[in-house]
């Protein structure tokens, strides 16, 4: 059974070609002649659009062509056909038809080229094809040359000028060509000429582009729906086909009855319209066919086109079973590899398990255990939802209920399979949209939890770009063993800690993890022994005893030693912490701010652990541990330091409030003075400008110069206010701690809160729009001063004046608009990039090639190094190798 | 950080000097010399099948032809081009290099790694004895970090460039180097690069000067005056005398002097206008019409205002700055690469523009490839987004792989894909399908989109290998 299923047929290639009228007739199950669908009793009319020979849609009914039903044996549906009374042009191919007419002779059908030209073009074409080059340009040239010809070289007929009236009518020298005439012409074109017209003679003939027979798609393509009222509602395509048949019939009758030419032509044109809209209802130049309700019909082209079309929505993206979606919430107690799945989901989602002689007892137990009753009600017991038995090719799916559980378990045979509920330890894919990079979909180990949300470790937020303000995420269960193994090896969270974008960790500490480590390691913190034990209990520390020191009769442990418990013994590392002040002269090893981190033999000797040590994107320690000790060690390190950090931050306590932004009155005065000076300077500039004394910068107008100068001054003013405010906010301030350690916020945020908000800008300029000659009616016309143009001198804490508030909102609005525009633009750019590069891969010989085999690079990235494994872009870490060699490791 | 200069020019220079190996110690990976390429190709040869080599040689030939023609063009235009000084490698470095090559034997290391090692060893002589150790360790790590076969490097590259796009700004900012010139940055610029637009929205050039010019302010100013476009209106007053139907042009001596132009030059350029006569009268230029008419006079008056008397088309504004360790550098708003390179005193090897198509036209496809990498990388770095250069290289190579600069999108790379289904799934679905059926195209289902459409495993990564477990007969028992 299993074997038979594993050897499936593989599609090797797909060939595209035009259908010839003969082929259409040959594959047709029936000719369709009546425009009606069902008779009064609700039965489909024979040779109507719903003829049962075209396939069936109701379950249970048998198709009259193949005798199969729709559900189980899958009758795929069969084509029918409509014989058109008069030929009609295919809209999509009208340009090709025009080109054919333009480059051939109406009399003899030969190309309008001299023999020499033709020979040359054939030679050229052959060469192009041999070299695998794109022939579009060459073939365009052929048509251009043909149009130049005045007389046919063979029969000497004068060449008429062919014009195309959009969408479907052609004229020769101003005289209209009927589709029949066009078809006659196209029939004359010999096969030898076709390659130069960009037509493959094996797959198409020019005259096939004029329709004489219209294929009718099967009922399965255009199912009718029965409304609740019992009324039938037909598909758009059926509606359109009804129109086509009706007009076709009338045309036939009129023509046969010998009606006047005018009437026949009108009907012919109407038929052309209906077939055109049947193929594409958005053809420019003709009104779209509408439903009775006024909605434009969705015909063949519309079904394929665009984002909601067949290609992008059903073929490139597919809906799946065994998936779930709900709100996410954080859980610091889970490992980064784990994912909390709500019980209600776990009971619905299943994983198939094949019953073998090795696991049959276990399977029986699984079926029964859910209903055995347990003492602990909170405990989750996975059960089995379905048992699938396969006998003689018949698949039977039995739902397991409380009643039949026992029975089903007893009857379980080897060879059938059970669909068991989700269990702890199952592997599942977790995803958040927009899925911008491969880390947006990672494999987690399932842990079934109560309540109704997905739960995961906070460190995994950055790769998913998730937060918990109501975000929802998706879960996909893996159904096969190979897939499970693959996900385990390639997609697990711990395998994705390093980002291929820049070769650094993308998963690492955030927010409180950084604050916690900062608190633990800054300023030689000493922790009483019992507190330290408490912190270390969070990571189940069972190592050796600590170096303690006694002060005032109490035993203490240094915070750095506590952190060092996480580090592997072989770790040696020196780097600058985030808290580095970037002093003019760096006193590297003896940093007065404790910002130079030294780790020796796994012991943190000095320095603060902050964002540059353990943070996502930047963590240096994290990076080193992963490279030296592998992903497992990296995961363990992340799991442990988060727990340690959270334990310490809860123990020490950490809070920020509005008084963190308090600055002394003296500082406020200083800032006010500074702002006063700046305002004076600006008014001076404005005065100079008005007096015409301002000297313009090279290549700038006076106005631009003034604006630039003022922007410079306002920028400096904000920096000044920030500096003053910052100097009064010490390192013992929680908000400053967060900003300096990189946990959250920046010094700019702080200076805006307690110093000065600064200049508001729209489109990179001071605010200038609003009323005539002024931004708001609160100012004089033509006022160019600071406050009239959006300078906010207040700080957030003291509050903004009404005009300031208004300007601030203007700046804020711009930001929102910007984000909205940006997401769509960058989304489209990424779609284009992906489409252009999706087939590019590294071959076994190290070259980088397209799917077609064209070489893009002889060696990937000029050195063949995987960016994920590179050291921040470098192939090898020479510093390390040399220091290793020096030490003789 | 990479230097501003374009490596393509380095390359070209090397072509001329017959593979003179110039070594720069801090050469970043992108600045590959042709030597490394040759080396790579050699390495490849062993593993490549005959079919591939045929393809490769065709491609190589094309590139060579292209490069030669541009080189010839330039050297024809300016015979006396001064080659930049060749940096002769010191004897010590050469010795170490040959030592390393001996140790490496048939194995290979990237050139920039070898350079790095050489620099380290020259700095610390003690290491010389341990060279063997260093090389073997480096080799081991190099091989460990090698990319896996069948890796979907294209998708990873596209994601790595696309993902940070959401974090970029939309606004144009002042250029980091020169406050006076506005340059499109952030996402719009990245999109522009990827689109391979024919003219960037804010073209600009960094014009570097040759030795004596970059040191003297006057000479630099001279060069700048030759480059910056000067209209008649800028240097002279134009007065139309409606009674006599003449136009009088009064040059402003001050600006004339500053711009370094003479009245004769003005006359010369004015004479290019047809159907007028111009004469110098008392330091003024008098213009009379061949056929006096009021309407024509006004027309001539208008065209005189915009008349170019000096400079290069397209260069709107010039800023000269003195850069540390470089001397005077000219920054220009507007770009016209081929004309600027002809100006005497301009260093043609280092002068750059952000107009990718112009670089492709003037300096060839390899230069265009490098400028795409450089521009895209700088745009991302300027926003503080760290993206590995290899991803950008791949995008650039895809854009330039067939000798022309193709855009990423339906008019370029995506529109020229061999697979019908893949094209149809991207954009303009219906036309692609119709054209394919007319041409009788064959979709061999080699790519990603096609295989997803038909529901088969994709030929990438683990899907590229086929592993079937052999069921051996039960042993014993």
The per-residue DSSP string of A596-610 comes to EEEEETTEEEES--S
The reply to whether A644 and A700 lie within a common domain is no
The closest CB to that of A829, out of B191, B412, B453, belongs to: B191
Nearest CA in chain B to A19: B437
Find the mean pLDDT for residues A257-280.
Answer: 89
Nearest CA in chain A to B228: A699
Neighboring chain A residues of B37 at a CB cutoff of 8 Å = 858
Neighboring chain A residues of B153 at a CB cutoff of 8 Å = 840-842, 848, 860
Q: What is the pLDDT of residues A666-682, one digit of tens each?
A: 888 888 899 899 899 88
pLDDT at A396: 83
Neighboring chain B residues of A844 at a CB cutoff of 8 Å = 149-150
- Taking the CA of residue B373 and the nearest CA in chain A, the distance in Å comes to 12
- Taking the CA of residue B191 and the nearest CA in chain A, the distance in Å comes to 7
- Residues 6+ away with beta carbon under 8 Å from B198: B357
- The per-residue pLDDT of chain A, averaged, comes to 86
Is A80 in contact with A215 (CB distance < 8 Å)? Answer: yes
pLDDT at A470: 92
Between B242 and A461, the more confident residue is A461
- pLDDT > 90: what percent of chain A? 19
Domain boundary at A446, A471, A505, which? Answer: A505
pLDDT at B87: 62
User: CA–CA separation, A62 vs A73, rounded Å?
Assistant: 10
The closest CB to that of B437, out of A17, A818, A838, belongs to: A17
Q: Which two tokens stand for residue B331?
A: 């920054």
pLDDT at B85: 57
State the best of B58, B100, B146 to mutate against chain A, taking most chain A CBs within 10 Å: B146
State the best of B52, B434, B441, B457 to mutate against chain A, taking most chain A CBs within 10 Å: B434
A661 pLDDT exceeds 60? yes
User: CA–CA separation, B56 vs A524, rounded Å?
Assistant: 63
> What are φ and ψ of residue B353, in 5° steps?
-140, 160
The reply to whether A237 and A306 lie within a common domain is yes
Residue B444 contacts A where some CB pair is shorter than 8 Å: yes
Check A869 against B157: CB less than 8 A apart: no
User: Does residue A13 lie in a domain region?
Assistant: no
Residues within 8 A of A (CB atoms), B 213-272 only = none
pLDDT at A73: 64
- Residues 6+ away with beta carbon under 8 Å from A545: none
- Taking the CA of residue B420 and the nearest CA in chain A, the distance in Å comes to 9
User: Does residue A501 lie in a domain region?
Assistant: yes
The closest CB to that of B387, out of A305, A502, A822, belongs to: A502
Here the CATH number for the domain that contains residue A234 is 4.10.860.120
Check B440 against A15: CB less than 8 A apart: yes
Kind and range of the H or E run holding A826: helix A802-837
Computed on alpha carbons and rounded to an integer, the radius of gyration of chain A in Å comes to: 38
A371 pLDDT exceeds 70? yes
Q: What is the pLDDT of residues A373-398, one digit of tens each?
A: 666 666 788 889 899 888 776 778 88
A746 pLDDT exceeds 50? yes
The per-residue DSSP string of A185-238 comes to HHHHS-GGGGGGGT--TTT--GGGGEEEEEEE--TTTS--EE-TTS-EE--HHH
How far are the Cα atoms of A849, B110, B321, B454 from residue B460, in angstroms, in the given order? 12, 27, 51, 16
User: CA–CA separation, B241 vs B219, rounded Å?
Assistant: 39
Nearest CA in chain B to A195: B439
pLDDT at B26: 40
User: Does residue A686 lie in a domain region?
Assistant: yes
The reply to whether A536 and A639 lie within a common domain is yes
Residue B371 contacts A where some CB pair is shorter than 8 Å: no
User: Does residue A19 lie in a domain region?
Assistant: no
User: CA–CA separation, B190 vs A404, rounded Å?
Assistant: 63
The reply to whether A337 and A463 lie within a common domain is yes
The reply to whether A190 and A304 lie within a common domain is no
pLDDT at A214: 92
Taken in order of first residue, the domains within chain B and their CATH numbers are 7-144 (no CATH), 230-310 (3.30.1360.140), 417-463 (1.10.150.390)
Here the CATH number for the domain that contains residue A386 is 2.40.40.20
Candidate from A159-163, A645-649, A694-698, B436-440 with smallest mean pLDDT: A694-698
Neighboring chain B residues of A863 at a CB cutoff of 8 Å = 29, 110, 112-113
User: CA–CA separation, A649 vs A630, rounded Å?
Assistant: 28
User: CA–CA separation, B193 vs A625, rounded Å?
Assistant: 38
Q: What is the pLDDT of residues B421-453, one digit of tens each?
A: 888 888 888 888 998 888 888 888 888 889 898
How far are the Cα atoms of A29, A69, A230 from residue A60, in angstroms, in the given order? 20, 6, 19
pLDDT at A377: 66
Query: Tell me, what's the ipTM?
Result: 0.88
Between helix A734-741 and helix A747-754 the angle, nearest 10°, is: 150
A837 pLDDT exceeds 80? yes
Q: What is the pLDDT of residues A56-87, one digit of tens each?
A: 877 777 778 777 777 666 778 889 999 998 99
Check B386 against A501: CB less than 8 A apart: yes
- Residues 6+ away with beta carbon under 8 Å from B397: A848, A856, A857, B369
Q: What is the pLDDT of residues A593-616, one digit of tens each?
A: 778 888 888 888 888 888 888 888
Q: Which residues pair with A765 in a beta bridge?
A: A762
Check A764 against B173: CB less than 8 A apart: yes
The reply to whether A556 and A579 lie within a common domain is yes
For the ranges A437-441, A572-576, B350-354, the maximum mean pLDDT occurs at A437-441
The reply to whether A689 and A786 lie within a common domain is yes
Kind and range of the H or E run holding A817: helix A802-837
Find the mean pLDDT for residues A19-23.
Answer: 91
- Taking the CA of residue B168 and the nearest CA in chain A, the distance in Å comes to 8
The reply to whether A773 and A882 lie within a common domain is no
Check B445 against A11: CB less than 8 A apart: yes
User: CA–CA separation, A540 vs A361, rounded Å?
Assistant: 37
User: CA–CA separation, A579 vs A593, rounded Å?
Assistant: 8
Nearest CA in chain B to A3: B471
Give just the sign of the alpha carbon dihedral A844, A850, A851, A852. Answer: negative
A302 pLDDT exceeds 70? yes
The separation between CA A756 and the C-alpha centre of its own chain, rounded to angstroms, equals: 40
Pairing between strand A323-330 and A454-456?
parallel
Find the mean pLDDT for residues A239-262.
Answer: 89
Residues within 8 A of A (CB atoms), B 62-101 only = none
- Taking the CA of residue B159 and the nearest CA in chain A, the distance in Å comes to 5
Is A152 in contact with A72 (CB distance < 8 Å)? Answer: no
User: Does residue A729 lie in a domain region?
Assistant: yes
b/e burial code for range A823-862 (CB count within 10 A of at least 16 → b): eebbeebbbbbbbbbbbbbbbebbbbbbbeebbbbbbbbb
The reply to whether A648 and A684 lie within a common domain is no
Domain boundary at A209, A243, A264, which? Answer: A209
Check B142 against A134: CB less than 8 A apart: no
Q: Which two tokens stand for residue A594?
A: 């404790």
The closest CB to that of A822, out of B187, B439, B450, belongs to: B187
Provide the domain count of chain A.
6
pLDDT at A376: 66
Kind and range of the H or E run holding B286: strand B284-289
User: CA–CA separation, A865 vs A859, rounded Å?
Assistant: 9
Nearest CA in chain A to B48: A845
Measured distance between the N- and C-terminal CA atoms of chain B, rounded to whole angstroms: 68
Check A882 against B161: CB less than 8 A apart: no
Check B158 against A204: CB less than 8 A apart: no
Residue range(s) defining the domain that contains residue A847? 841-887
Going along B3-45, which residue ranges are E strands? none
The closest CB to that of A826, out of B156, B187, B391, belongs to: B187
Q: Which two tokens stand for residue A649?
A: 């931050």
Here the CATH number for the domain that contains residue A692 is 1.10.132.30
Query: Which residues, given as ranges, of chain B have pLDDT below 70?
Result: 1-89, 171-180, 473-477
Residues within 8 A of A (CB atoms), B 183-212 only = 187-188, 190-191, 194
User: CA–CA separation, B456 vs B452, rounded Å?
Assistant: 6
User: Does residue A825 lie in a domain region?
Assistant: no
User: Does residue A468 lie in a domain region?
Assistant: yes
- Residues 6+ away with beta carbon under 8 Å from A672: none
- Inter-chain CB pairs, A–B, below 8 Å: 370
Check A204 against B438: CB less than 8 A apart: yes
The reply to whether A303 and A327 lie within a common domain is no
Domain boundary at A484, A505, A526, which? Answer: A505
Neighboring chain A residues of B402 at a CB cutoff of 8 Å = 854
The reply to whether A111 and A242 lie within a common domain is no
User: CA–CA separation, B282 vs B63, rounded Å?
Assistant: 58
Query: Residue A81: is the preceding peptide bond cis (ω within 30°)?
Result: no
The reply to whether A307 and A329 lie within a common domain is no
User: Does residue A435 lie in a domain region?
Assistant: yes
């Amino acid at each position: 059974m299993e074997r038979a299923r594993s050897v499936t047929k593989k599609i090797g290639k797909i060939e595209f070609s035009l259908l010839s009228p003969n082929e259409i007739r040959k594959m047709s199950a029936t000719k369709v002649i009546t425009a009606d669908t069902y008779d009064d009793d609700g039965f489909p009319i024979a040779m109507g659009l719903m003829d049962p020979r075209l396939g069936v849609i109701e379950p249970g009914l048998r198709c009259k062509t193949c005798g199969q039903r729709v559900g189980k044996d899958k009758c795929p549906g069969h084509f029918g056909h409509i014989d058109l009374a008069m030929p009609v042009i295919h809209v999509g191919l009208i340009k090709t038809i025009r080109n054919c007419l333009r480059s051939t002779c109406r009399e003899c059908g030969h190309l309008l080229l001299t023999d020499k030209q033709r020979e040359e073009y054939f030679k050229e074409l052959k060469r192009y094809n041999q070299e695998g080059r794109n022939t579009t340009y060459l073939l365009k040239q052929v048509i251009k040359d043909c149009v130049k010809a005045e007389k046919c070289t063979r029969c000497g007929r004068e060449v008429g000028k062919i014009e195309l009236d959009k969408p479907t009518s052609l004229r020769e020298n101003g005289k209209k060509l009927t589709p029949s005439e066009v078809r006659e012409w196209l029939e004359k074109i010999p096969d030898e000429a076709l390659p130069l017209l960009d037509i493959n003679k094996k797959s198409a003939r020019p005259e096939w582009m004029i329709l004489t027979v219209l294929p009718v798609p099967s009922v399965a393509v255009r199912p009718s729906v029965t409304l609740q009222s019992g009324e039938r509602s037909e598909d758009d395509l059926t509606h359109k086909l009804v129109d086509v048949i009706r007009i076709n019939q009338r045309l036939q009758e009129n023509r046969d009855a010998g009606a006047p030419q005018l009437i026949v032509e009108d009907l012919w044109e109407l038929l052309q319209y209906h077939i055109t809209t049947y193929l594409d209802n958005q053809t420019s130049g003709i009104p779209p066919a509408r439903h009775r309700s006024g909605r434009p019909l969705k015909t063949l082209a519309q079904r394929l086109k665009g984002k909601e079309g067949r290609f992008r929505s059903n073929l490139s993206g597919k809906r799946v079973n065994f998936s779930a979606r709900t709100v996410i919430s954080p859980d610091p107690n889970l490992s980064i590899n784990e994912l909390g799945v709500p019980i209600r989901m776990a009971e619905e989602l299943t994983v198939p398990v094949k019953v073998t002689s090795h696991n049959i007892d276990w399977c029986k137990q699984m079926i029964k255990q859910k209903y055995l009753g347990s003492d602990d009600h909170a405990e989750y017991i996975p059960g089995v939802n379905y048992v699938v038995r396969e006998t003689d090719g018949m698949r039977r799916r039995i739902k397991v209920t409380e009643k039949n559980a026992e029975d089903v378990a007893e009857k379980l045979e080897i060879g059938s399979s059970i669909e068991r509920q989700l269990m702890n330890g199952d592997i599942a894919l977790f995803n958040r949209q927009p899925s911008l990079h491969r880390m947006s979909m990672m494999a987690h180990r399932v842990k079934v939890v109560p309540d109704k949300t997905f739960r995961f470790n906070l460190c995994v937020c950055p790769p998913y770009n998730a937060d918990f303000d109501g975000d929802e995420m998706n879960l996909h269960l893996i159904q096969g063993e190979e897939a499970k193994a693959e996900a385990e090896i390639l997609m697990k969270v711990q395998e994705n800690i390093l980002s291929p974008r820049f070769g650094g960790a993308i998963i690492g500490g955030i927010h409180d993890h950084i604050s916690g480590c900062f608190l633990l390691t800054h300023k030689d913190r000493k922790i009483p022994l019992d507190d330290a034990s408490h912190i270390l209990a969070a990571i189940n520390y069972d190592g050796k005893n600590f170096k303690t020191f006694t002060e005032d009769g109490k035993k203490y442990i240094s915070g750095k030693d506590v952190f060092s418990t996480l580090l592997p013994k072989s770790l040696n590392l020196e780097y600058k912490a985030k808290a580095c002040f970037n002093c003019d002269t760096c006193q590297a090893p003896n940093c007065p701010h404790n910002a130079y981190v030294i780790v020796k033999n796994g012991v943190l000797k000095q320095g603060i652990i902050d964002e540059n040590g353990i943070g996502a994107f930047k963590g240096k320690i994290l990076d080193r541990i992963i490279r030296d000790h592998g992903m497992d060690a990296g995961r363990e390190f992340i799991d442990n330091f988060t727990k340690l950090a959270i334990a310490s931050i809860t123990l020490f306590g950490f809070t920020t409030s509005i008084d963190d932004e308090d600055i002394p009155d003296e500082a406020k005065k200083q800032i006010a003075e500074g702002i006063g000076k700046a305002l004076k300077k600006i008014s001076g500039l404005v005065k100079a400008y008005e007096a015409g004394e301002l000297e313009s910068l090279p290549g700038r107008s006076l106005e631009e110069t003034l604006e630039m100068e003022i922007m410079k001054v306002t920028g400096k003013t904000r920096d000044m206010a920030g500096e003053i405010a910052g100097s009064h906010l010490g390192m013992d301030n929680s908000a400053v701690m967060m900003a300096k350690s990189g946990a959250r916020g920046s010094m700019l945020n702080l200076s805006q809160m307690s110093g000065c908000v600064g200049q508001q800008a729209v489109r990179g300029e001071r605010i200038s729009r609003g009323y005539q000659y002024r931004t708001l009616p609160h100012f004089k016309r033509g006022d160019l001063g600071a406050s009239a143009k959006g300078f906010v001198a207040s700080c957030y804490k003291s509050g903004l004046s009404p005009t300031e508030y208004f300007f601030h909102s203007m700046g804020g609005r711009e930001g929102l608009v910007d984000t909205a525009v940006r997401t769509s633009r960058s989304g489209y750019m990424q779609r284009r990039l992906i489409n252009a590069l999706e087939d590019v891969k590294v071959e076994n010989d190290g070259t980088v090639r397209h799917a077609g085999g064209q070489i893009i690079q002889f060696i990937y990235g000029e050195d063949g190094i995987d960016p994920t494994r590179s050291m921040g872009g470098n192939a090898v870490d020479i510093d390390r190798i040399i220091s290793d060699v020096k030490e003789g490791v | 950080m990479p230097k501003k200069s374009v490596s393509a020019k380095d390359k070209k220079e090397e072509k001329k000097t017959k593979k003179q190996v110039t070594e720069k110690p801090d050469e970043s990976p992108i600045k590959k010399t042709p030597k490394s390429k040759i080396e790579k190709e050699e390495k490849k040869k062993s593993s490549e099948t005959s079919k591939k080599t045929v393809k490769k040689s065709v491609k190589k030939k094309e590139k060579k032809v292209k490069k030669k023609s541009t080189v010839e063009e330039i050297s024809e235009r300016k015979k006396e081009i001064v080659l930049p000084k060749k940096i002769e490698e010191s004897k010590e470095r050469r010795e170490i290099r040959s030592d390393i090559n001996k140790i490496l034997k048939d194995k290979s290391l990237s050139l920039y790694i070898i350079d790095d090692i050489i620099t380290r060893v020259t700095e610390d002589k003690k290491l010389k004895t341990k060279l063997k150790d260093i090389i073997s360790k480096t080799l081991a790590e190099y091989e460990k970090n090698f990319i896996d076969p069948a890796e979907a490097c294209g998708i990873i590259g596209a994601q790595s460039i696309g993902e940070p796009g959401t974090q970029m700004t939309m606004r144009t900012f002042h250029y980091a180097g020169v406050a006076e010139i506005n340059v499109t940055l952030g996402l719009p610029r990245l999109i522009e690069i990827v689109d391979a637009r024919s003219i960037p929205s804010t073209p600009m050039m960094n014009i570097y000067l040759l030795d004596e010019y970059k040191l003297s302010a006057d000479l630099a100013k001279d060069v700048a005056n030759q480059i910056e476009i000067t209209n008649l209106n800028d240097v002279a007053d134009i007065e139309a005398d409606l009674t006599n139907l003449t136009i009088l042009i009064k040059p402003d001596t001050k600006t004339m002097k500053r711009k370094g132009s003479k009245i004769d030059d003005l006359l010369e350029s004015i004479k290019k206008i047809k159907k007028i006569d111009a004469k110098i009268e008392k330091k003024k230029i008098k213009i009379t019409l061949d056929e006096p008419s009021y309407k024509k006079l006004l027309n001539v008056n208008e065209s005189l205002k915009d008349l170019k008397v000096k400079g290069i088309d397209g260069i709107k504004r010039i800023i000269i700055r003195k850069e540390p360790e470089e001397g005077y550098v000219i920054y220009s708003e507007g770009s016209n690469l081929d004309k600027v390179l002809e100006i005497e005193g301009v260093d043609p090897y280092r002068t750059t523009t952000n107009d990718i198509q112009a670089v492709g036209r003037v300096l060839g496809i390899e230069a265009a490839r490098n400028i795409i990498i450089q521009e895209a990388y700088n745009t991302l770095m300027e926003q503080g987004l760290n993206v590995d250069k290899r991803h950008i290289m791949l995008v650039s190579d895809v854009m330039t792989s067939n000798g022309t600069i193709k855009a990423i999108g339906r008019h370029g790379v995506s529109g020229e894909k061999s697979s019908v289904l893949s094209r149809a799934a991207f954009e303009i679905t219906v036309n692609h399908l119709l054209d394919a059926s007319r041409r009788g195209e064959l979709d061999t289902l080699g790519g990603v989109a096609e295989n997803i459409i038909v529901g088969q495993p994709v030929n990438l990564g683990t899907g590229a290998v086929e592993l079937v477990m052999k069921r051996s007969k039960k042993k014993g028992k």
